[in-house]
Structure 1
């Protein structure tokens, strides 16, 4: 490749014609110099749980300026990072479910009014294709969910109220190739019939970094937007489009091949720069900023392989574990101590 071709690619990248593929606000924040806390219109908060060693990062996009800088809508984006989520440790997954429940209660408390005598109705939506493992997180969560809305019809209108339980319902609408309908169209029909107070949408996401696959959970009160998720939704699922607040919960299950190559090249350049005999090798790549490096690699790869995405070899087990963790987090968040009272007393 000639030098002028490289310069032309970099100029194209600087003009914003290419976009680094990530659904995580945390990774978008990391693309800025510094810790990301200096972005105008964006508020950053980080903390860690000592027991579980979970790192929590809250990115709040406060205004239009922040939304433009981040490339995401205004709202709150909360990320839970836990490296041990990729391990088959049931006790640890239980700890994460408890943390997830705390954060769901906190965020939904800001979205709807939780009243003891007027328990809200919640619709959980499992987005994705159950036949495609990296995109099956949503439907699998629905398979583990203990719904309650139907109990009123079976045991009387006061059954849930007497037990302090809300009406929880769920749907896995599939994808348009299976149904011939947009997910938004299906949900609008359901909403018009059951009138939920809140939607919780579960989706598989795309990440920028391999280390976040299956180890990161993002919650946001902004809902689901076109182009997000593994399925790349065409229509938004937001309060504005649905008429109901939407809490989105997502886990990254795929990463772009260009991002993997970029991380590999960056690691190689660091190693070469530490050795006197190879210090100059690849120095021109090292002088580029990370976005320029990524765009150059993407421009080289995609003509040969297309926009290729990669998923871990153990993704089936990972999605299975995470589906239980997320469903249990939802159970604890919405039922709390009353979750054992889902059947009438004999």
Structure 2
């Protein structure tokens, strides 16, 4: 559907759904889904295993793990703790944490804009250990083995005059981490996934790509170390809302007529506008704490 292709999404899962809607087979892409009825958590693993699959998906080869949790925006500590454990479990699958690692966590985004402040808030809640271990050794924190965790909030180019990738390349060159974990706010195709979905990928992250601000990516190719990307969709394309609302009204039309009508009705400027829920400030606080606890749990001990 032409309109759907123009609507932006950072979620690999939503890209696969578009192919399903069009009854198109995606070769070179493996999809595995698991639903935990007790927790009401659905986990979908999308693996892009060939170059053809990457081209069809418009994403690099690698693993994309999507955790859908409807109550993520609700202040339920027990529920959020369970999601933190899920995040920790998946991180351990993507990173070999059996041996001590040096891990740099990058909080992407603009702390002054609530919908874009997820990354900075996650870094605020992290337990940093690199400086303590360097100063006092593991005995100083009463552990035999522990990963060296450090973090940085590089800001955005309008604040620094520098590409985020330039800043992180400098930090990586100086501190030499084994792994970089980049946290960022994402854009979704579906309103129901706003603030209720977490994507974890081993392909890195491209700051601003979901809202059309294409910056140099934080990837293994660019940084020369493994990069894990973690994101939550906090905004949705305004055209999505119009599209979905009109589609319900047009169910009676033939599919081809519906596509043509929607293409004509949705104003081009809507594709550059993004919408976020009114309670996003509180929700981002919950989500950032949930993600940071997942990282703290995963990186607590080697």
Alignment TM-score, normalising by the size of structure 2: 0.92
Decide whether aligned partners of structure 1 residues 35 and 162 sit closer, same or farther in structure 2, where only a CA change above 3 A counts: farther
Mapping of residues 236-247 of structure 1, within 5 Å: 236-247=217-228
Which residue of structure 2 aligns with residue 324 of structure 1? 289
Deviation at 1:226, TM superposition (A): 6.2
SS of equivalent residue, structure 1 residue 249: strand
1:62 CA displacement: 0.7
- Residue 31 of structure 1, aligned match among 18, 21, 25: 18
- Residue 169 of structure 2 is aligned to residue 188 of structure 1: yes
Q: 1:123 aligns with which of 83, 88, 104?
A: 104
Q: Secondary structure of the residue that 1:225 maps to in structure 2?
A: coil
Alignment RMSD, CA only? 2.5
Q: 1:98 aligns with which of 71, 85, 106?
A: 85
Identify if the C-alpha distance between structure 1 residues 22 and 295 changes in structure 2 by more than 3 Å, giving closer, same or farther.
Answer: farther
Q: What residue is the counterpart of 2:229 in the other structure?
A: 248
Contact 2:204 2:229 (C-alpha < 8 Å) held by counterparts: yes
The CA deviation at 1:49 is: 2.0
Partner Cα separation in structure 2 for residue 84 and residue 40 of structure 1: 34
Note the C-alpha offset of 1:35.
9.7
Distance in 1 between residues matched to 2:176 and 2:23, nearest whole Å: 39
Asked if 1:45 corresponds to 2:32, the answer is: yes
Partner of 2:273: 308
Give matches, 1:1-346, under 5 Å.
13=2, 19-33=6-20, 38-109=25-96, 114-116=97-99, 119-156=100-137, 159=140, 162-225=143-206, 228-230=209-211, 232-270=213-251, 273=252, 283-284=253-254, 286-288=255-257, 295-297=263-265, 300-303=266-269, 307-335=272-300
Q: Decide whether aligned partners of structure 1 residues 260 and 199 sit closer, same or farther in structure 2, where only a CA change above 3 A counts.
A: same
C-alpha spacing 1:161/1:257, structure 2 compared with 1 (3 Å): same
Q: Could you say what secondary structure the match of 2:31 adopts?
A: strand
What's the secondary structure of 1:125's corresponding residue? strand
Greater relative CO, 1 or 2 (CA 8 Å, sep 6+): 2
CA distance in 1, matches of 2:215, 2:92: 29
Q: Secondary structure of 1:188's match?
A: helix
Q: Per the alignment, do residues 171 and 231 of structure 1 end up closer, same or farther by CA in structure 2, a change over 3 Å counting?
A: farther
Q: CA deviation at 1:50?
A: 3.3
C-alpha spacing 1:75/1:207, structure 2 compared with 1 (3 Å):
same
Structure 1 length-normalised TM: 0.81
Unpaired runs of at least 5, structure 1: 1-9, 274-282, 339-346
**Equivalent pairs, count:** 302
Structure 2 counterpart of 1:5: none
1:280 alignment partner in structure 2: none
SS of residue in 2 equivalent to 1:60:
strand
1:141·1:323 contact (CA, 8 Å) conserved in 2? yes
Q: In 2, are the aligned partners of 1:204 and 1:250 still within 8 Å (CA)?
A: yes
